[in-house]
Structure 1
């Protein structure tokens, strides 16, 4: 299963495979026609309350990681399976807007997809 993470602002690459935006809101400064996304799964994004609590504060990373995994487990079970299928067939790029490339929802979702069935 090939899953890579990329900021929506990064250039498109021929090896991106299926490109999916996983944020709940459209990223600032990106025109939809220029985004080169295959899907936008708003429903797989962390809840607004969780994002507000996290605030991209690295001191809250572990709590965010655990809480978002719980939301993923309790949410729509078809979306993770659909993403896994894309990852296995053509590769998957999870697109996100956060500036922090190490502590963001894409990291949690990638780990969830790889280690949970």
Structure 2
């Protein structure tokens, strides 16, 4: 099984499998039916504080990833992450984000954790 990361604005593809939106907010200008999102577990998204800290430009991606992994290790986030792991064990999963640079976003951190 595999995990892909794609921008939510890209058209759905048959090989996407289960499409999981991993952003806390719904992407601007995107109709819900056009996105074809199957799951939207908001509890696995970075906290508002972490997101603001990272986007302020004061932190490296590596520091952000480390703090984000710590957030995912407890509580609701850990439970939701386990649920998504179950989806990955069952088949293909595509993590969707509105980020302009998905390779430097929380979606890539999630993908790495889900493939481990």
Q: Given the two structures, how large is their TM-score scaled by the length of structure 2?
A: 0.91
Partner of 1:14: 14
* Residue 101 in structure 1 maps to residue 109 in structure 2: no
Which one has a larger percent helix, Structure 1 or Structure 2?
2
Q: Shift of residue 39 of structure 1?
A: 1.0
SS at match of 1:102: helix
- Equivalences for residues 22-61 of structure 1 within 5 A: 22-55=22-55, 57=57, 60-61=60-61
On the 8 A contact 2:22/2:107 being kept in 1, the answer is: yes
Q: Shift of residue 104 of structure 1?
A: 0.1
4+ long deviations beyond 6 Å: none
Q: CA 1:25–1:56 in 2, change beyond 3 Å: closer, same or farther? A: same
On the 8 A contact 1:17/1:90 being kept in 2, the answer is: yes
Name whichever of 90-99 and 106-115 sits farther off: 106-115
* Residue 70 in structure 1 maps to residue 70 in structure 2: yes
Partner of 1:112: 113
Deviations 1:48-81 (A, max 9, x none): 0000000074952111010000000123232112
Number of aligned residues: 115
Partner of 1:84: 85
Q: Given the two structures, how large is their TM-score scaled by the length of structure 1?
A: 0.90
Q: CA 1:56–1:37 in 2, change beyond 3 Å: closer, same or farther? A: farther
Provide the C-alpha distance between the structure 2 equivalents of 1:96 and 1:69, rounded to a whole number of angstroms. 17
